[in-house]
Amino acid sequence: METLYRLNPILEALRAQPRQVVKIFILKQTPNRRLKQLFRLAREKDVPVSLVPRAKLDRLYPHHQGAIAWLSPLPYAELDDLLDSSDYPFFLALDNIEDPQNLGAILRSADGGGVEAVIIPARHTVGLTGSVASVSAGAWASVPLCRVKNLARTLAGLKEKGVWIIGAEARAEKLWYEFDYTQPVVIVLGSEGQGLRPVVRQQCDELLSLPLGGQVSSLNVAATAAVFIYEVVRQREMERGAGRRITRVLNKNQSESVTNNKNKVNIKGKESERKRTNYESHSREDKASFPRRKDE
C-alpha cells in the first residue's frame, strides 16, 4: 500500500487512476477550497472518503497538506506491448537510480516530453513509491513504468529489434545533440555516483555527454534526462515541421516555380518524409524489428 500526502498527486491519482485509490482521509471542518474540490472529485469517482480530525491525519503522516490517500500498487507495464503499439519508440532506461526524488523528476520530464515508457531494473533501483508520486506531480500515473530482470539483456534485445541505444556518459567525446533522434531510440541514464555500469555501457550504440563549463563535475541525473528528452523533442518536431511545409508547397503546385535554394529544401524534406514512411509501412504484425538507418 502506497501513501500520498500532497494534494496535487492525490488529485492527479483520482483523475488518472481512480481505481488504484483505496481510500482518502480529508481534514474535516476546513474552509480550504482545494480540499473541498478533492472531496467532490473523490465522491464523483466513487472513492471512499473519511473526514477526520487533524490529530488522526498527523498520526497517519505528519507532513500532510490536509489530505492523505492510500493507493494499491500500480501494475508495471509490459515492454513488448509498448513496442508493438509504437511507430517510433522513445524510451528511457534508468540504471541504478535509487533516489525517489530523481525518479519522480525524471517521470515529470518524461511526461512533458512524450516519452513512451521508462525502463528500470528489478533490483538496485527505486520503484513507484509515495515520494516518487509526489515529486512527479502526477506523471507517475501517465508514463508507463517497465520493470525488467536484466537491464543489459533487455537493451540487447531492443538493439536486435532495431532500436538505437544511446547512453548518457559524462566522459564521452560526442555531445548530446550529435545523433539523429528521429529514429527509434532508448536513452540510458546511470546513477550520479557511478554512472552507467560497464555491462550496460557495452550495450550502447553511442555514448554522448553534456559539456560542463563550471566547477561541478556532473549534473543531476534528472537534469541530464530533461536535456536529452527535449533534444529528441526538438529534432522530431523539426522533422515533422519540414514534412508539413513540403506538403503545403506541393499542394499549391509551386514546386516547379520555387528558387533553386528552395528546391534543395524540398528535396531534403521529401527524403525525410520518405524515411518516416518506411517506418509507418510496417504493420503491427511485422514489427518484430524496426528498420535501423545509419546515423547521418
Predicted local confidence at residue 118, as pLDDT? 94
With cell 513507484, the residue in question is 128
Q: Is residue 36 part of a domain?
A: yes
Q: Tell how far CA 256 is from the center of its chain.
A: 43
94 touches 115 (CB < 8 A): no
Computed over every residue of the chain, the mean pLDDT equals 80
222 and 281 share one domain: no
Other C-beta atoms within 10 Å of 257: how many?
9
* DSSP 8-state secondary structure symbol assigned to residue 12: H
Q: What mean pLDDT comes out for the span 34-53?
A: 92
pLDDT surpassing 50 at residue 105:
yes
Cβ neighbors of 110 (< 8 A, separation 6 or more) are 92, 118, 139, 143, 225, 229
Q: Note the pTM of the prediction, 2 decimals.
A: 0.71
Q: What is the mean pLDDT of residues 23-47?
A: 89
Q: What is the pLDDT of residue 41?
A: 93
The confidence score (pLDDT) of residue 102 equals 87
Classify residue 293: in a domain, yes or no: no
Whether 291 is covered by a domain: the verdict is no
CB neighbour burial string for 94-110, b if at least 16 within 10 angstroms, e if fewer: bbbbebbebbbbbbbbb
Same domain for 266 and 169? no
What dihedral angle (degrees, nearest 10) is formed by the CA atoms of 62, 63, 67, 71?
-90
Q: Is 175 found in the same domain as 108?
A: yes
Q: Is 202 inside any structural domain?
A: yes
Least confident interval from 6-15, 84-93, 159-168, 219-228: 6-15
Q: What is the pLDDT of residues 255-275, one digit of tens each?
A: 444 444 444 333 334 333 434
Query: Does residue 206 lie within any of the structural domains?
Result: yes
The verdict on residue 113 lying in a domain is: yes
Instruction: Identify whether residues 201 and 66 lie together within a single domain.
Output: no
% pLDDT > 70, the chain: 78
Report the alpha-carbon distance of residue 71 to residue 19 in Å, rounded.
9
Residue 292 in any domain: the answer is no
User: Has residue 167 been placed in a domain?
Assistant: yes
Q: Cite the beta strand spans of the chain per DSSP E.
A: 2-4, 21-27, 49-52, 67-71, 90-95, 117-121, 145-148, 164-168, 174-175, 185-190, 206-209
Same domain, 188 and 281: no
State the total domains in the chain: 3
Say which residues have a Cβ less than 8 Å from residue 224's Cβ, sequence separation at least 6: 168, 189, 210
- Looking at the structure, do residues 104 and 220 belong to the same domain, yes or no? yes
pLDDT digits (tens, 9 = 90+) for 180-207: 999 999 999 998 778 899 999 999 999 9
Give the pLDDT mean for 212-217: 77
* Domain interval for residue 138: 79-234
Same domain, 12 and 121: no
Residues 162 and 292: their CA atoms lie apart, in Å, by 5
CATH code, domain with 16:
3.30.1330.30
The domain that contains 139 carries what CATH number?
A: 3.40.1280.10
Band the pLDDT of 30: cuts 50, 70, 90: confident
Pair (110, 244) in one structural domain: no
The C-alpha atoms of residue 165 and residue 255 are separated, in whole angstroms, by: 38
Which of the two residues, 276 and 133, has the higher pLDDT score? Answer: 133
Among 276, 234, 248, 224, CA closest to 88: 276
* pLDDT of 292: 58
- The model's pLDDT over 111-143, given as tens digits with 9 standing for 90+, comes to 999 999 999 998 877 767 667 777 777 777 778
Domain boundary among 71, 95, 128: 71
137 shares its domain with 15 = no
